[in-house]
Structure 1
Amino acid sequence: MFDIGTDVVNQKTGHIGKVIGYGHEMVNGVYSPTLKVLLSEALNPGKKGFIEEDLHSAWTQWQEANNLSIK
């Protein structure tokens, strides 16, 4: 599980943001962990402030070569 404040990227959509919370979703009768992510405007035009919740497994830690910090 990622810590609050970790920069992450969604492997399916390419959305990049910062973990701001956790949740859960029922998948095939089993509760699966989800992440609540505040998307970054700089890397996702038009999406600033948009919170995306998706299965934890859809996300990976964001590490850009020049160490860009998401604000």
Structure 2
Amino acid sequence: MFGIGEYVLHQKTGHIGKVIGYGHEILNGVYTTTLKVLVDYAETSGKRGVVEEDLYSAWVKWIRF
């Protein structure tokens, strides 16, 4: 699980941001974990500062250089 403050990359959208919280969603009767991410870089829209919530499995750890 990612910790609060860690940077993550969304595998489909390319958005990069900092984990600011967790959530939950019920999909097909299954309780799933979501991440709340403050987007620093949005490849497609260019919008920053947007809080995005998506399934935990859609994100991977991103290491800043």
Q: Give 2:30's aligned residue.
A: 30
Instruction: State the TM-score, normalized to the length of structure 2.
Output: 0.89
Q: Distance in 2 between matches of 1:49 and 1:15?
A: 11
Report the identity percentage: 63
Q: Give 1:14's aligned residue.
A: 14
Unaligned runs of 5+ in 1: none
Q: Distance in 1 between matches of 2:23 and 2:47?
A: 21
Aligned partner letter, 1:59: W
Q: Size of the alignment, in residue pairs?
A: 63
Instruction: State the TM-score, normalized to the length of structure 1.
Output: 0.82
Q: CA RMSD for the aligned pairs?
A: 1.2
Is structure 2 residue 55 aligned with structure 1 residue 55?
yes
SS at match of 1:57: helix
Q: Distance in 2 between matches of 1:28 and 1:11?
A: 22
CA deviations on 1:10-67 (whole Å, 9 max, x unpaired) are 0011100000000001111011000000000xx3264221000000000000124xx1
More strand by share: 2
Greater Rg by CA? 1
